[in-house]
Amino acid sequence: MLPRILVLALLAVSVLRAAPATSLFDGRTLAGWEGDLKWWRVQDGALTGGSATEKVPKNFFLATTRSFKNFNLRVKIKLTGDPKTGMINSGVQIRSLRVPDHTEMSGYQVDAGDKWWGKLYDESRRNKVIAEPIDAAADAAVKKEDWNDYRILAEGPRIRSWINGVPALDYTETDPAIALDGKIALQIHSGGMALVQFKDLVIEELAPTPGAPTWDKVGHPKPRPPAKKKNAPPAIAPSAK
C-alpha cells in the first residue's frame, strides 16, 4: 500500500488539477475588469469594445484585475467592421501586464482578424508575430462577422489554441526571460471603425509550473519614452532686394 502522506499528496494534486471552471464575466457588469470606459462597455450581454461610428485611435485593452499562470480559457468572440475604414482586428492577451501610463499591454496576444486568426503576436515586447497557425484549416473554420469559439490552453511554456474546435496554434516558448504569468485582456485594434464583442468567458485554472519565470522575476514593462517632437524647419532668410 502507498504511504498515507503520498496518498494525501496525490489527492491534493488531483483536486488542484480538477479545479472547477469559473466565469470571468457576469453578463451584466465590468466587475473583475478594468479599462478605458470610452471604448469598453457591456452591450447586448457581451463585453464590447470599439465603435461603429468613430475610428479607434489607439489600441485599447480591457484587462482582468487579477493574474493567471496555467489555464484553459474558452471565449466566444465576434468582430465586425468595414475594412475600408481601417484595420479591423482584435485579440486575446494572455500572461500580460499594462505598459505604465499607456494604453498598451505587454505580452502574448492570441490574434483575431482577417489574415490574423490563430497567429501569436508578442505585443509591446518583441513586437512581432512569434508563431503562425498550424495550417489553413483554422482560418477556414472562422465564421466572418459572427460568433467564433476560441479556446486557449497555456501550460508552462506551451501555448495552444483552437478556433471552433479546429487546432490553430501550438507554440513553445524557449526564452527563459519571458514571464509565464499575467493578466488576460481583450483588444480592440486601432485604425478602423470596428466593434468586437466577447461572451461566455470561462477559465479553468491548472496547476502552476514549478520555477516558471514570472513578471516579478524578469521585470515589469517599462514606461515608454515620450514621442520625439519633429524639428522645426530651418528659417528661410529673406531675399535681398
Per-residue pLDDT reduced to its tens digit, 167-198: 999 999 999 999 999 999 999 999 999 999 99
pLDDT value of position 231 = 54
Rounded percentage of the chain residues whose pLDDT exceeds 90: 84
Express each pLDDT in 21-63 by its tens digit.
999 999 999 999 999 999 999 999 999 999 999 999 999 999 9
pLDDT classification of 111: cutoffs 50, 70, 90: very high
3-state DSSP of the chain? CCCHHHHHHHHHHHHHHCCCCEECCCCCCCCCEECCCCCEEEECCEEEEECCCCCCCCCEEEEECCCECCEEEEEEEEEEECHHHCCCEEEEEEEEEECCCCCCEEEEEEEEECCCCCCEEEECCCCEEEECCCCCHHHHCCCCCCCEEEEEEEECCEEEEEECCEEEEEEECCCCCCCCCEEEEEEECCCCCEEEEEEEEEEEECCCCCCCCCHHHHCCCCCCCCCCCCCCCCCCCCCCC
pLDDT value of position 224 = 83
Q: Does the structure show a pLDDT above 50 at 76?
A: yes
Mean pLDDT of 126-133: 98
Express each pLDDT in 130-141 by its tens digit.
999 999 999 999
pLDDT value of position 132 = 98
Query: Whole-model pTM?
Result: 0.86
pLDDT value of position 121 = 98
pLDDT classification of 11: cutoffs 50, 70, 90: very low
Q: Does the structure show a pLDDT above 60 at 12?
A: no
According to CATH, the topology of domain 19-218 is: Jelly Rolls (2.60.120)
